[in-house]
Each structure stands twice: as structure tokens, then as C-alpha cells.
Amino acid sequence: MKIYNCIADFKPVDNAIVTVGTFDGVHAGHRAIFERMKKEAELHNGETVVITFHPHPRIVLDPDNAALRFIKTQERKIQDIAEAGIDHLIVVTFTRQFANTSSSDFIRHLVVPKIKPVALIVGYDHHFGKDRSGSMDLLHVLGQEFGFEVDMVEALQIDGETVSSTKIRNLLQAGEIRKANRMLGSDYSITGRVVVGKSIGRNLGFPTANIEVDDHYKLIAAGGVYACRVHHNGQVYKGMSNIGFRPTVDHGDLTIEVHIFDFNQSIYDQQITIDFVDRMRDERKFESLEALKQQLTKDREMALSIL
């Protein structure tokens, strides 16, 4: 996939099939749009072009909202779009000035002359431009004016509910990881750098890697103990992870730590990715370290069974 940091850098291709969006989560609904794009590209002998924005528009338009969190980092979002088989990704820098661009002007003065689309494919709830005023009706009018097709991908239903980034964020914050993963079409994950902890887990026979997440806006799932898979240096390991405040031994800041099964390497300052597969239990305070150790043994058995 070729990546461009502004529309002006894009060199028009024959028969561009285009979509526009923020794509938080790159979830199953987004992937359905990408699949439709690829089919249209085959029919037109063309290439697929995704337009997205960075920073996320809500960060620019609502900077004082301390609750703003997103499912995936920009780096992971780009990786997922590439793995979906898209040919070109244009990352538009979102600013307050750009936010004043009307939906009509965005299509007329940027998308049409710079990309020359033969088709624009969007999701069922797509709105764009200043005040999100761009609608399917407007797209059809512009499509007739400039000679591109407009196609809408219907809402994707999973477990009887419409897939959306908002729904997935709510599920993650409620600890419903399996349902969130089904809507994502992949496992929710956290990538971070391994930092020095207090070695309490090691003293219990369950050494953990403590993770520091660099992205302030990364959504962290509900606290608890999870069965997980860990990616490190191209290898995948089984493990169990804890998100929380370690009430038995510590009442400090929120921590993310993972015990990697059958693993005995020093990985301080190295990056790992944790894929969260299932939430096994709430975090809770135990009467002693021995009681905690006994529970961790049970957690390991359950995690292995799940994985």
C-alpha cells in the first residue's frame, strides 16, 4: 500500500475507487467497505483509494474532552488498512481550518480534481465535511455532476446489533471483549514498551511484563484478568494479562501487565503487542500473596483452556 500525507501528493490512477472516513477500529463494517471497493476495482480494472484524517477530528474539535479515547492507534489503523488489501492511503492532516471545508467543496476541489474517482463507496451512516453536513443525497448529486458512481454499503449486523466504533468502544469499556472482537473482526490489542515493575509477580512465580502505552488517546479495556496472545519479535506466545490497580499489593496507578507462558527472556525497553482474547474475571483483592498465587495458578489453567 502506498501512503500519502496529503491529497496533493497523490498521483491520479486509472479508475480510482474511493472511500472517506476516520475508520476508528478498522472494524468488520469498515472491512466490508474495503471488500466492496476491491470488487469494484476488479470490475473497473482500477485501484482502491482510502482517505482518512489525522489527528482524529474529535481531538481537534473537542480538545478539552478528557474522555476521548480511540480503539486503535494511527499506526495500527494504517497497518490494518494495508492488510485489508487497499492500494493507496491518503492521510489528510486535520486542522481547524480544514474543518471549515464544506462537504461540497471537499468533493469538488479536492477529491474530484486530485483523485478523479470513478466510484465513491461509503458506509450506511456516512457524513462528512463541515458540521458533518455531507449526505448520500449530496454525493449522488455530485456524482451525477462529475461522473462518478456512488455506492452505499449497508449496515453490518453481528449478534443482532449494528457494528459501529461507538458500540465497540462501549463493549470494551464494559469488559465484553469477545463481543467486541467479533465486531472488530480481530482481537482488540494494546502495543507498548516493556518497563521496569516491582517484581511482585516474579516473586510469586508469575513474572510479568509491565506495559507503557505511548498514545494518550488509546482506549484501554475494562479492568480484569484476560486470556491473551503476545507478539514479540515475530513470535506469538500464549499468556494472561491484568489491567487494573493490583489491589492485593498496590493501590497506585492503572497498570497493564502480562505473564507470558513458557517465556524466559529479558525484554525491558522492547515493544510487545497483547491481543486480548477473553476476559476471565474481575480484578480483586486477596487476603494474602499466597491466596493470590493460588488464583494465578487457576487463571493460567483457564487461559490455556481458552487459548
What are the chain's domains?
2-161 (3.40.50.620), 188-306 (2.40.30.30)
Mean pLDDT of 227-254: 89
Identify the residue with better confidence: 249 or 269. 269
pTM for this predicted structure: 0.93
Average pLDDT of 54-60? 94
Band of pLDDT at residue 172, cut at 50, 70 and 90: very high
Predicted confidence at residue 103, as pLDDT, reads: 87
Residue 295 above 90 pLDDT? Answer: yes
CA nearest to 77, candidates 165, 209, 178, 179: 165
Please say whether the beta carbons of 149 and 41 come within 8 A. Answer: no
Q: Which residue has the higher pLDDT, 195 or 203?
A: 195
Average pLDDT (55-78) is 94
Q: pLDDT value at position 203?
A: 73
Q: How far is CA 295 from the centre of its chain?
A: 32
Looking at residue 202, its pLDDT comes to 72
Mean pLDDT of 136-147: 92
Residues 307/261, Cβ–Cβ less than 8 Å? no
Q: Is the pLDDT of residue 129 over 70?
A: no
Provide the pLDDT confidence category of residue 10 given band limits of 50, 70 and 90: very high
| Residue 132 pLDDT class (50, 70, 90 cuts) | low
Which burial class, exposed, middle or buried, applies to 90 when counting CB atoms under 10 A from its CB (0-12, 13-18, 19+)?
Answer: buried
**Residue pair 276/182 in contact by the 8 Å Cβ criterion:** no
